[in-house]
Amino acid sequence: MGYVKKTFNYYANLPLKKKITVIVYTSFLFLGIVFLINLHKLTTYYDRDMYQTNAQLLDNIISNIESEMSTISNMSDYIIADNVIQDSLTRLFNFSNYDKSASYRRDAYEALYTYMFLNDYIRSITIVIDDTVITMGDSLEESELDFDTINKQAADANGGPVWISDKTTNYSCFCVRQIRQKKYLNLRELGILYVKVDLDKIIADALKKAGYTPDITEFILFHEGDQIYPEKDVYEQNKIRESNSPESYQIESIDGKKKFIIFGNMNYVPWNYYYFRNYNQIFYQATQAKYSAVLLTAVFLLISILFTNIILKNIFKHLDYLIYKMKEFGGEPVLPTVKKYDYQGRQDEIGRLHRTFDEMTKKVKALRDENYDKQLLLKDATIKILEQQINPHFLYNTLDTINCMAQMEGNEDISTMVLSLGNLFRASIMQQKELIPLKEELEFLNSYIQIQKIRFKERLQFTIDIPEKYNTILVPKLSIQPLVENALKHSMEYSFEPCEISLMLNEKDDCYQLRLANTGSHFEADLLEKIRQNTLKPVGNGVGLINIDSRLRLIFGEEYGLSFFNQDNMAIVLLEIPKGVM
């Protein structure tokens, strides 16, 4: 907080030219920051738009890949249900003689020929029956597959298709399923069908249809953390940090190259796909536009600052000249380098300011010529004032003489009354300040009470309960005595009953309350409001109460003033003074 205050004070003491310069430069800085923020947001929106565009095309690629795999899977339905294959495998299953089963193997082999060329992406179709292998197309090496694991997966699928693709298969892709006997719904296992698929060709054709080229794109498939496409390892999956954003894209630097990455999961098979593009190639124009915008903004700000300096210098040289004119008018010599201008035809604020100052100097010179006569009149007035001051001094001297005579005669009441009256007279005419310390106001009140005690004797009981620590509080002059006088007038002048008057001070959170309470009278509700609206005729000091309330509100604000109420058979007046008035 102290640092902020020092900074504000430093700024407040700067010359006007520097203040305006700070404001202008701060505005330029703010505009520059806003521009860069908006540029960043625009770039972010562009990234998102690129993601959406590429993600849509990528969805088409994935749909094409899954469509081809679904077609092959559907074709496998026909293979395992083929009558020739079903009959041949059933006979092979029932005959153990290898020579007799050769014709059945040939029949099955020839039946596979029809399906081999129905799809361009099938590389081979293989049927495995125990130790018997029937293959159409590429030969199936035993080292290529983990038959035990795959056969178990096929058995768990209950005749449904299972897609196999991992490092044990040398990055090949197989559609594997059980062949079960359908005759008589026997459903016993006759063998295992392996359809080897050219995954590389499927993906390459899908990318080509979408318009992607390998030089700017990289498409990678993972299965359970192992890369299954392409054959060459590109990135380890654990090096790619997946984002939690709903767009499922990110921009990362991998192996020193900035990549735009989209990732997701395939629906048909439990594989993860990653799509990489060279960020600098697809965002080259956007990056160049961003750098160009930043450069142009910097140049614009620099030109604006220089242009602003020229304008401010041209404006403030005329204000500097006005300062020189003021110094010259005050008697200081003007620097010889100051150039004088004619502002008669200039209609802006500077021209009006100079013309107003010139007219003011002419009037001041005219007033100065008349000053001599006024000085003479002032001397005469001073003499008369000094003469009139003799009368109060004469009154004080007279009261002092009466006091001395009363003391000589032994009349203490007259002495006390004369001394108190003198104090009241001095306080009322000699004190010129609007606010005085509470101590002085109480001394003035005490003089008044001394006179009233002589008048009312034992009938008046007056107490003051105010600690000395509050003596420095400033209160309006003659604000308490009229309240006490009002209490005496209403409680004693029309009654012979004793009267108790007490004055105390209560400290609140934000103000002090002077509380004056007296017996023998009571206040009407909304007393001040009724007096102001003439619905209640003021008696005694009613007008004085309004004056005190108005003074308090003018000095301290509308929330302060007098309030009146009755409590415990006593009339109470509250006078509120804000804290901080010392």
**Domain spans of the chain, in order of start:** 47-282, 316-369, 460-578
The torsion angles phi and psi of 262, rounded to 5 degrees, stand at -120, 135
| Token digits of residue 326 | 């003021």
pLDDT of residue 172: 67
User: What is the C-alpha to C-alpha distance for residues 530 and 202, in angstroms, rounded to an integer?
Assistant: 100
pLDDT of residue 383: 41
Sign of CA dihedral 286, 287, 289, 294: positive
pLDDT of residue 341: 66
Sign of CA dihedral 83, 84, 86, 87: positive
pLDDT of residue 403: 55
User: What is the C-alpha to C-alpha distance for residues 187 and 179, in angstroms, rounded to an integer?
Assistant: 9
| CATH number for region 460-578 | 3.30.565.10
pLDDT of residue 46: 72
User: What is the C-alpha to C-alpha distance for residues 505 and 513, in angstroms, rounded to an integer?
Assistant: 6
Under DSSP, is residue 86 helix (H, G, I), strand (E, B) or coil? helix
Strand order from edge to edge, sheet including 226-229: 226-229, 217-223, 272-278, 257-265, 249-254
Digit-by-digit pLDDT tens for the chain (582 residues) are 566 666 656 655 666 667 777 777 787 778 778 877 877 777 777 767 776 777 777 788 888 888 988 999 999 889 888 888 888 888 887 765 555 577 888 888 888 888 888 888 888 898 888 777 888 888 776 666 777 788 888 888 888 898 887 554 555 688 999 888 887 777 788 888 999 988 888 888 888 887 776 555 678 888 777 777 776 665 655 455 544 444 567 777 777 777 778 888 888 888 888 888 777 666 666 667 777 777 887 887 788 778 777 877 777 777 777 777 777 776 666 655 555 666 776 777 777 777 787 778 777 777 776 666 666 565 555 444 444 444 454 455 555 556 566 566 666 666 666 666 666 666 555 555 778 898 988 988 888 888 888 778 888 899 999 999 999 899 888 888 888 888 888 888 767 788 899 999 999 888 999 999 998 888 887 777 777 666 555 554 455 778 888 888 888 888 888 888 899 888 999 999 998 765
What are residue 435's DSSP bridge partners? 476
What number of CA atoms fall less than 13 Å from residue 310's CA on the CB side? Answer: 5
Whole-Å CA distances, 261 to 20, 64, 226, 249, 473: 49, 20, 18, 6, 75
Any idea what DSSP says for residue 426?
H
pLDDT of residue 245: 46
Per DSSP (E only), the strands in 396-485 are 435-437, 460-465, 474-476
pLDDT of residue 572: 92
pLDDT of residue 575: 92
Closest to 183 (Cα-Cα) out of 90, 75, 94: 90
Is-cis flag, bond preceding 498, omega within 30? Answer: no
User: What is the C-alpha to C-alpha distance for residues 289 and 284, in angstroms, rounded to an integer?
Assistant: 8
Q: How far is CA 245 from the centre of its chain?
A: 25
pLDDT of residue 515: 94
User: What is the C-alpha to C-alpha distance for residues 501 and 487, in angstroms, rounded to an integer?
Assistant: 8
The answer to whether 475 and 436 are in contact (CB under 8 A) is yes
What number of CA atoms fall less than 13 Å from residue 417's CA on the CB side? Answer: 14
Beta-carbon contacts of residue 553 (< 8 Å; ≥ 6 apart): 560, 561
Strands 435-437 and 511-518: unpaired
The CATH homologous superfamily to which domain 47-282 belongs is PAS domain (3.30.450.20)
**DSSP string for residues in 149-216:** HHHHHHHHTTT--EEE-SGGGTT-EEEEEEEE--GGG---EEEEEEEEE-HHHHHHHHHHHTT--TTT
